[in-house]
Amino acid sequence: KAGVTQTPRYLIKTRGQQVTLSCSPISGHRSVSWYQQTPGQGLQFLFEYFSETQRNKGNFPGRFSGRQFSNSRSEMNVSTLELGDSALYLCASSWGDRDNSPLHFGNGTRLTVT
Amino acid sequence: GDSVTQMEGPVTLSEEAFLTINCTYTATGYPSLFWYVQYPGEGLQLLLKATKADDKGSNKGFEATYRKETTSFHLEKGSVQVSDSAVYFCALRVEVWDKIIFGKGTRLHILP
């Protein structure tokens, strides 16, 4: 069974640009969550999609957005990039509707903003 | 709000030493508790979980017991190996549809 796939693995962008990250969940999983990981803040929750609807949202500005498609694949978009957006962005999938279903993580997309 | 607090790292131990990484939580309701591990260059992997008070999760020689009275879920291993060097995250989720909340992580270094 294939794991969670995130693309691209690395990205370098300039301040003010926008970026789109992609996540393909484990087959059958309907929930996709996004996290931002930085050395200082640890893992910060961005949002979660379940069956194409945003179900949970973290405390990030509106520049951070996402969506989920009918095949459960998800994209995350960051507009007007700032230096502080440099981080590892992790996507995780789960069943989403079963008790104690853990998250399965991808290897992340490393975003560097210069 | 719900939160997880775990001990600051890095923790450095010699091979075959006993490991404890402390984790305490604050939550409304009765959360499920998790330990995840992150090896260099990879995403997080579930290490173990416990869903109710007094449950013990275990995997790969690691153990953690859900202690409701002390709101704790400390990770232990009797004899660590160099290959256990990684970052360990304690986490909780209150309801099936809730987000999972993570602690800040504890980096573990095992010396041969």
**What is the mean pLDDT for each group of 10 consecutive residues in chain A (114 residues)?**
91 98 96 93 92 94 97 97 97 82 91 98
A35 has which bridge partners?
A45, A90
Interface test with B, best of A36, A47, A100, A109 (most B CBs within 10 A): A100
Within 10 Å of residue B80's Cβ, how many Cβ atoms?
21
Are the Cβ atoms of A105 and B44 closer than 8 angstroms?
Answer: yes
Edge-first strand listing for the sheet containing B19-21: B19-21, B75-77, B62-65, B56-59
Q: Which residue of A has its CA nearest to B99?
A: A56
Q: Which residue of B has its CA nearest to A47?
A: B99
Please report the pLDDT score of residue A96 as a whole number: 78
Please report the pLDDT score of residue A1 as a whole number: 66
Is residue B28 predicted with pLDDT exceeding 90? no
Residues of B in contact with A45 (CB under 8 A): 99-101
Residues of B in contact with A55 (CB under 8 A): 97
- Percentage of chain B modeled with pLDDT above 90: 82
Are the Cβ atoms of B99 and A58 closer than 8 angstroms?
Answer: yes
Please report the pLDDT score of residue B99 as a whole number: 86
Rounded CA gap, B7 and B92, in Å? 16
Rounded CA gap, A89 and A33, in Å? 11
Are the Cβ atoms of A92 and B44 closer than 8 angstroms?
Answer: yes
Please report the pLDDT score of residue A102 as a whole number: 85
**Average pLDDT, integer, range B67-81:** 97
Q: How far B105 CA sits from the closest chain A CA (Å)?
A: 7
Nearest CB to B89 within list A43, A45, A101: A43
Please report the pLDDT score of residue B33 as a whole number: 94
A-B C-beta contacts closer than 8 Å: 59
Rounded CA gap, A61 and A114, in Å? 20
Contacts of A78 (CB under 8 A, 6+ apart): A18, A19, A21, A63, A64, A65, A85, A111
- Percentage of chain B modeled with pLDDT above 70: 100
Please report the pLDDT score of residue B25 as a whole number: 96
Residues of B with CB under 8 A from a CB of A: 32, 34, 36, 41-46, 49, 51, 89, 96-105
